[in-house]
Amino acid sequence: MRKLPHITVLFWSMKIAATTLGETGGDLLAQTLRTGYLVSTVVFLAALLIAAVCQLRAGRFHPAIFWIVIALSSTAGTTLSDLMNRTGGIGYPGGAAILSTGLIIVFVIWWRSGQTLDVENVASLRGEVLFWVAILFSNSLGTSSGDFLADSLGLGFRDSATLLAAIMLVLLAAHRFTSANATVLFWIAFVLTRPLGATIGDFLSKPRDHGGLQWGTVWTSAALLATLIGLIAYQIVDLRRHHLSLLPLPVNRRTGAPQEPNGDLVTIGHR
């Protein structure tokens, strides 16, 4: 059975909501509640590990578990990035460079492992593990790159979000009207949704003298959490009416050898 959702408009809407919540939620714990980046990172990584184990052990796609992992990887990525860039003194450009290198290394390992990078067709346990490692790196990178655009380049939160949204529209047009590789376009868009969410979250929560709307991390996080819960509930109901399609048993892309599936096996009878 499929463990990862189909890539639809609903998926992208939930991804942006989850990553925006990750930005404000990370700032809520680390800054507003003053626990600091180190303690916050440890807390979120521990919660992420528990949620990720639940996701990996599940036999099919559970929207609540999947999006909890996405949101926690985003909050952990926020505090981890800020820990590196601010507390560690690396700075936004340095942090973005380090995390970009890490993400590229993950993709190289993923490709050489013989797993498919097409998220909709990930059917092996190893492929799903690599998917979640890439998620953590991409969400951490998104915080650094979002801060780099807004602060280092001086674009501000609103203009940075506008620029990233425009790039997303270009990627959508390329997917719809050109023969560009869909997997490459997906991962570019997936990475960019994180800085998009980061800049939107900062724009909503930061003080007006910092270019924000001054909603605060508490109210912004509460509104985003309510939005995400509503979307999860909608997806659960929708899945009852339109089941996800099944996947064939996974094989190594390079050798054709069978691999350990990451979902429950379903036997389909033949007539």
If 0-12 CB within 10 Å is exposed, 13-18 middle and 19+ buried, where does residue 256 land? exposed
Q: What is the pLDDT of residue 171?
A: 93
Residue 86 is classified by DSSP as I
Query: What is the per-residue pLDDT across 144-153, written as a single tens digit (0 to 9) for each?
Result: 887 788 787 8
Given a contact cutoff of 8 angstroms between Cβ atoms, the answer to whether 86 and 33 are in contact is no
Percent of the chain with pLDDT over 70: 99
**pLDDT value at 86 more than 90:** no
Q: What is the pLDDT of residue 268?
A: 67
Q: What is the pLDDT of residue 208?
A: 84
Categorize the per-residue pLDDT at 270 as very low, low, confident or very high, splitting at 50, 70 and 90: very low
Per-domain residue ranges of the chain: 9-241
Question: Is pLDDT larger for residue 268 or for residue 200?
Answer: 200
What mean pLDDT, rounded, does the chain reach?
A: 90
Given a contact cutoff of 8 angstroms between Cβ atoms, the answer to whether 266 and 45 are in contact is no
List the structure tokens of 193.
């949704």
Given a contact cutoff of 8 angstroms between Cβ atoms, the answer to whether 32 and 217 are in contact is yes
Categorize the per-residue pLDDT at 271 as very low, low, confident or very high, splitting at 50, 70 and 90: very low
Q: What is the pLDDT of residue 4?
A: 93
Q: What is the pLDDT of residue 194?
A: 81
Return the number of other C-beta atoms located less than 10 Å from residue 98's C-beta: 17
pTM of the model: 0.91
**Sign of the C-alpha dihedral, residues 203, 135, 122, 232?**
negative
H helices of the chain, where? 9-27, 37-57, 63-82, 92-112, 125-147, 156-177, 182-205, 216-241
Q: What is the pLDDT of residue 126?
A: 93
The mean per-residue pLDDT over the stretch 107-120 comes to: 92
Query: What is the per-residue pLDDT across 21-54, written as a single tens digit (0 to 9) for each?
Result: 988 999 899 989 999 999 999 999 999 999 999 9
Question: From its phi and psi, is residue 118 left (phi > 0), alpha (psi between -120 and 50) or beta?
Answer: beta
Query: What is the per-residue pLDDT across 198-246, written as a single tens digit (0 to 9) for each?
Result: 888 888 888 887 778 888 889 999 999 999 999 999 999 999 998 899 9
**pLDDT value at 269 more than 80:** no
Q: What is the pLDDT of residue 50?
A: 97
Given a contact cutoff of 8 angstroms between Cβ atoms, the answer to whether 164 and 195 are in contact is yes
Q: What is the pLDDT of residue 139?
A: 85
Q: What is the pLDDT of residue 107?
A: 93
The mean per-residue pLDDT over the stretch 74-83 comes to: 90
